[in-house]
Amino acid sequence: MISDMAFSFLGTGSVKAAPVYGCDCIACQRALSNQTYRRQAACGVLEVNGVRFLIDAGYLGLEEKFPPGSLDAVLLTHFHMDHVQGLFPIRWGMGESIPVFSPDDPHGCDDLFKYPGIFDFSKKSLPFEPFHFKGIKITPVPLVHSKLTMGYIVEFNGKRLAYLCDSGVLRRDVEVLLKEHPLDLLILDCDQPPQEKAPRNHNDLTRALDVYKSIQPKQLLLTHISHHLDEYFITHPDCLPDGVAIGLDSQTWTI
Ligand SMILES: [Zn+2]
Ligand SMILES: [Zn+2]
Ligand SMILES: [Zn+2]
């Protein structure tokens, strides 16, 4: 059976992802010696019924990976540099304009709004206001972060996926919405190993697994991973329950 949705990671790292410049921890050393464990900044590709979305754009080298005409739209969670930096080398390109759905953040990032090039930033993602793009339903949900940030729930043909990055502890209304409609795949921010206190702008592993228990998606993928968390995974190989996986750049998941 051909699946309806395929999600591929291009970047699963936080701003302090392995290999961190100059760091000699085991996670950074592993990433230096084995390409598989290198993590670029937040970025994914979602293909739904022949429509291709870029979700976040932290990956450096997008212009090589996606020739003109190969991206239908971009979904941006927020305007921190590690989520938009991959757009900068493309914006002065030629060809059709690419719609970007992003939070209504007047500040944006650097001069992207002033000089958008081939990107169309006029599409605003408003909290809990679903929109359709080429027959695919997309619902933005507000996340707790240091900048105005939206997660995205994507639905097509009875399949549901959510991408929540960057995110601190979920708002109650978002948690209720996610619990009401079961998810096939949840891609969730998890930046840190277990902490005593919940971090403000990201999840640690304890809070990410709390979300898993509460929302009960069929599959949880962890992303936005720091070298500290990778080090924890190396030293605690059995710390994840069934149904939870550590995201890796270049992995594809179909539902
Ligand atoms: Zn390190
Ligand atoms: Zn951020
Ligand atoms: Zn980030």
Sorted by where each begins, the domain ranges of the chain are 5-254
- The Cα 220–Cα 222 span in angstroms is 7
Residue 96 CA to residue 156 CA, distance in Å, equals 26
Kindly give the distance from the C-alpha atom of residue 84 to the centroid of ligand 2, in angstroms, as a whole number. 10
Domain 5-254 has CATH 2.40.50.140: no
3-state secondary structure at position 232: helix
Give yes or no for a contact between 154 and 178, defined as CB atoms under 8 angstroms apart: no
Ligand 1 center to 18 CA (angstroms): 6
How far apart (Å, rounded) are the C-alpha atoms in residues 184 and 157?
12
Closest listed ligand to the CA of 223: 3
Asked if residue 104 lies in contact with residue 126, where contact means CB atoms within 8 angstroms, the answer is yes
Distance (angstroms) between ligand 2 centre and the Cα of 14 equals 9
Cα of 1 to ligand 2 centre, how many Å?
37
138-185 pLDDT, tens digit each? 999 999 999 999 999 999 999 999 999 999 999 999 999 999 999 999
Q: What is the largest CA-CA distance in the chain?
A: 50
pLDDT at residue 3, as a whole number: 66
Predicted TM-score (pTM) of this structure:
0.97
The ligand minimizing its distance to the Cα of 226 is 1
12 CA from centroid of ligand 1 (Å) = 15
Mean pLDDT within 47-75? 97
Task: Show the CA angle centred on residue 134, arms to residues 117 and 217, nearest 5°.
Answer: 105
- Cα–Cα dist 178/188, whole Å: 13
Q: How far is the CA of 202 from the centre of ligand 2 (A)?
A: 8
**Cα 239 to Cα 102: distance, rounded to the nearest angstrom:** 35
Quote the CA–CA distance of 125 and 64 in Å, as a whole number.
Answer: 27
Write out pLDDT tens, residues 99-132: 999 999 999 999 999 999 999 999 999 999 999 9
DSSP one-letter string for 89-153? TTTT--SS-EEEEEE--TT-STTTTTS-TTEEEEEEE-TT--EEETTEEEEEEEE-SSS-EEEEE
